[in-house]
Amino acid sequence: MIKKIKASKSEKIIFIFILFLAVFSFGSFFLIKDKCLFVKDIDPKKIKFDKPKNIAVLNVPCGNVIIELYPKISPTGVKRFITLVESRAYDNVAFHRVIKDVLVQAGDLEFGKRKNIDYGKIGTGKSGLGTINSEVDNPFNFEKGSVALARTQKYNTEDSQFFIILRDEPLYETEYTPIGKVIYGLEALEKIKYLDKSEYVLRPDFINTLRMLIN
């Protein structure tokens, strides 16, 4: 006759805790997968670009976003952006400001890093390279997917932060420094985490990597 072993109260608690963690992890995995389910995977190596030296590849939770930079329109702004990309400064930086169907913003290198994010100061951080002048004189159509440098309420305060618009914004012309446009993968940006009642996101999504196609 086999004698049944009765589990102690502490053993039951541990078992329930482990079971809860397993269910939570399993559910979180499928939640992330479902979020990105219909986002097309973009492989930049399979695309032939007219100007590959002007291509940046932004990797986010739902895949790759391909940005074509416009150095002829904003030479100083694009140069600053490329400098930071090549130093890998944008890796693991938060999309700290997100307005659903309007824009996503990232690039706070001081307070937006994954390991030491500061919710009290995020959005105010700097790169350490100083500010640059606004470049708003050249005509530019701020249509969906346009990429621009963020600034304070004053001109000539651009630094490392940038935003990408998710709808046409014609009034942004002469207001912000355009540096490029998303040519593939905009759907991945539309899946970036946002909050309904706030532009600033708690526990935000992060840039995984941001690289130039040709180093």
Query: Rounded to two decimals, what is the model's pTM?
Result: 0.84
Burial 37-55 (b: 16+ CB within 10 A, else e): eebeebebeeeeeeeeebb
- Is residue 66 within 8 A of residue 42, CB to CB? The reply is yes
**pLDDT score of 83:** 98
What CATH superfamily classification does 44-212 receive? Cyclophilin-like (2.40.100.10)
- pLDDT at site 30: 47
Query: What was the pLDDT predicted at 26?
Result: 47
Q: Kindly list the domain boundaries of the chain, sorted by start residue.
A: 8-37, 44-212
For the chain, 215 residues long, the average pLDDT of each consecutive 10-residue run is 57 61 49 78 96 98 98 98 98 98 98 97 97 97 98 98 98 98 98 95 97 94
Q: Output the pLDDT for position 127.
A: 98
- What is the reported pLDDT for 12? 56
